[in-house]
Amino acid sequence: MSKKFSIIIFTDLDGSLLNRDNFKFDEIKDYIKNLIDEGIIIIPNTSKTEKEIEQFIKELGTDLPFISENGSSIHGLNLINANFPNKIVLSRDKQELIEIFNSKVPENLKAKCKFISKMNSKEQTNIFGLQDNLLKNALSRKYTIPFLFDGDKKEKNRLFSILRSSSLTMQEGGRVLNLGDNTDKLKSMNQVLKIYKKVESKIKVIAVGDNFNDLDMLKNCDIPCLVFNDQFKQDKINIDNLIVSNKPSPGGWADVIKTALVKLDFTD
């Protein structure tokens, strides 16, 4: 690579890098490892839990820094530079968030919120498409609370407004909503970049996503990439210079990254 600048890829996982249905990525594993070998920094930035991401990293076979639970905590920046912190927590504990939720949200809206943790394992498996240890890892949350909302659009917007006024967020992912602190993928991405810029001023940022909770991250990077998602109206996304794949993950992830690297005139 001609070292004109550093390249960082912030990427969502489910539906962006991982297959939406079976969460596999075997067909692009070698490609990902080649990118890392060529000096590109890859940082998963996802709603997944710490344990889920650690399992992904184990399957990849290469250590990576990562951001878990929709920007709640940042891990492993010391892998980039030994002087960087190993862990940064940007969120309050989930119990504190639940207490705020219970005190601020009216009963009629609370009744519409079906928290996944209170469901039986069969219901949880149907929602996440996971079972046994994989399901246990998905539920091992420190900062966010996944739920379903059984209300109309007006009620959903009202809930969102109440949470926002209470310094909480409601992130929309592919399968569930997530109650969380006033953090998100963009804030955590910017925190990482702020730290990285202490040692490297010339940086190009690629961001990859496939859903609503990825859009702010895509709007605030150099090369935004959207992986095909048949449940998401991509033609209504207004982001400058957006690269869109014509096939789903994981192949779609490799396609958008290859196009992004051509735009950056990346050569190894």
b/e code 10-45 from CB counts within 10 Å (16+ = b): bbbbbbbbbbbeebebeebeeebeebeeeebbbbbb
* 1 within domain boundaries: no
- Among the candidates 150, 181, 212, a domain finishes at 181
* pLDDT one-digit tens code per residue, 141-167: 999 999 999 999 999 999 999 999 999
| pTM beyond 0.75, yes or no | yes
Q: Are residues 80 and 196 in the same domain?
A: yes
Report the C-alpha gap between 267 and 264 in whole angstroms.
Answer: 9
130/245 same-domain check? no
pLDDT, tens digit, for every residue of 83-139? 999 999 999 999 999 999 999 999 999 999 999 999 999 999 999 988 999 999 999
Q: Where are the beta strands (DSSP E) in the chain?
A: 6-11, 41-44, 66-68, 73-75, 87-89, 113-115, 145-149, 168-172, 177-181, 203-209, 223-226, 243-244
Residue at 152 is within a domain: yes
CATH number of the domain that residue 18 is part of: 3.40.50.1000
Last residue of a domain, one of 141, 156, 181: 181
| 77 burial via Cβ count (<10 Å: 0-12, 13-18, 19+) | buried
Question: Is 215 among the domain residues?
Answer: yes
**pLDDT exceeds cutoff 90 at 174:** no
- The per-residue pLDDT for 2 is 45
CATH code of the domain in which 141 resides: 3.30.980.20
Give the DSSP letter of residue 118: G
Are residues 247 and 122 part of one domain? Answer: no
> Could you report how far apart the first and last alpha carbons of the chain are, in Å?
4
Q: Is residue 251 part of a domain?
A: yes
Residue 233 included in any domain: yes
Calculate the average pLDDT of the chain. 94
CB–CB of 118/146 below 8 Å? no
Q: Is residue 223 part of a domain?
A: yes
Which of residues 131, 149, 181 is at a domain's end?
181
Amino acid at position 83, single letter: N
Whether 79 is covered by a domain: the verdict is: yes
Per cent of the chain over pLDDT 90 is 87
Q: Which domain holds residue 121?
A: 94-181
Average pLDDT over residues 63-71: 97
> Quick one: 190 and 72 in the same domain?
yes
What is the total count of domains within the chain?
A: 2
Residues 189 and 165 both lie in one domain: no
Do 47 and 64 belong to one domain?
yes
